Chains A and B, each alone.
Chain A
């Protein structure tokens, strides 16, 4: 059983398109996150949700919108994709200060 699963694993799309990445965790964790890892491997938090409420919203373009239908899911929707959005996006979840668990990542390529 995968603890934090993301779909799709790979996503290639054209500029201007809208796409979504889905994330589900079966760990019963209360907090979920989205991170972006760029080509230089820098990891930056984008969003954090705790019990379906947004608690961190770093400075990301408003083309990115997280949606959490329940505490086990945190999806990321991206409008009007740009070349600079190409990166690997990781979902993660946590319950306390222990055990942050990351998903396998979604490699987004915008052409």
Chain B
């Protein structure tokens, strides 16, 4: 069974700071996804990573994938309040989601 672990599960950070969310998974997979979920809302696709070394950036978020280490990171640069949400990584054919990282960005 494919297991996906995210850390931290809770993250409170100040505006302007940088931080990284980690996503480890237990077995080989050729694809990894990052999603954002606002409270009471659906999941919004952020990134799809399909190869070792893939790096994608959108605004203040950058995602990378190391398939050998079975690790993906979501890096937040100069956080702003609007980034407050829960971030999920998902692996494989998205049968397996991480537990989510609840990010709160404070002024």
Q: A residues touching B (Cβ–Cβ < 8 Å)?
A: 33, 40-45, 48, 56, 58, 90, 92, 94, 97-105
- Which A residues are in CB contact (< 8 Å) with B100? 41-43
Q: Given A41-B86, A43-B88, is A104 in contact with B97 using a C-beta cutoff of 8 Å? A: no
Q: B residues touching A (Cβ–Cβ < 8 Å)?
A: 31, 33, 35, 37, 41-45, 48, 50, 86, 88, 90, 93-97, 99-100, 102
B86 and A56 contacting across the interface, CB-CB below 8 Å:
no
- Which B residues are in CB contact (< 8 Å) with A102? 35, 42-44
- Which A residues are in CB contact (< 8 Å) with B102? 41
A103 and B97 contacting across the interface, CB-CB below 8 Å:
no
**Closest chain B residue to A41, Cβ basis:** B100
A105 and B42 contacting across the interface, CB-CB below 8 Å:
yes
* Count of A-B residue pairs with CB < 8 Å: 48
Secondary structure of the B contact surface, majority rule: strand
**Closest chain A residue to B97, Cβ basis:** A43
**Nearest-CB distance from B83 to chain A (Å)?**
17
CA distance A44 to B2 in the complex (A): 12
**Closest chain B residue to A99, Cβ basis:** B45
**Nearest-CB distance from B2 to chain A (Å)?**
11
9 intermolecular pairs with C-beta atoms under 8 Å apart: A42-B100, A43-B97, A45-B95, A48-B93, A90-B42, A90-B43, A92-B43, A94-B94, A105-B41
B97 and A44 contacting across the interface, CB-CB below 8 Å:
yes
**Nearest-CB distance from B48 to chain A (Å)?**
6
**Nearest-CB distance from B104 to chain A (Å)?**
14
- Which B residues are in CB contact (< 8 Å) with A43? 43, 88, 90, 97, 100
- Which B residues are in CB contact (< 8 Å) with A103? 42
Q: Given A41-B86, A43-B88, A90-B43, is A100 in contact with B99 using a C-beta cutoff of 8 Å? A: no
- Which single member of A48, A56, A97, A104 contacts B48 (CB below 8 Å)? A97
CA distance A3 to B88 in the complex (A): 21
**Closest chain A residue to B33, Cβ basis:** A100
Q: Which of A33, A42, A97, A101 has the most CB of B within 10 A?
A: A97
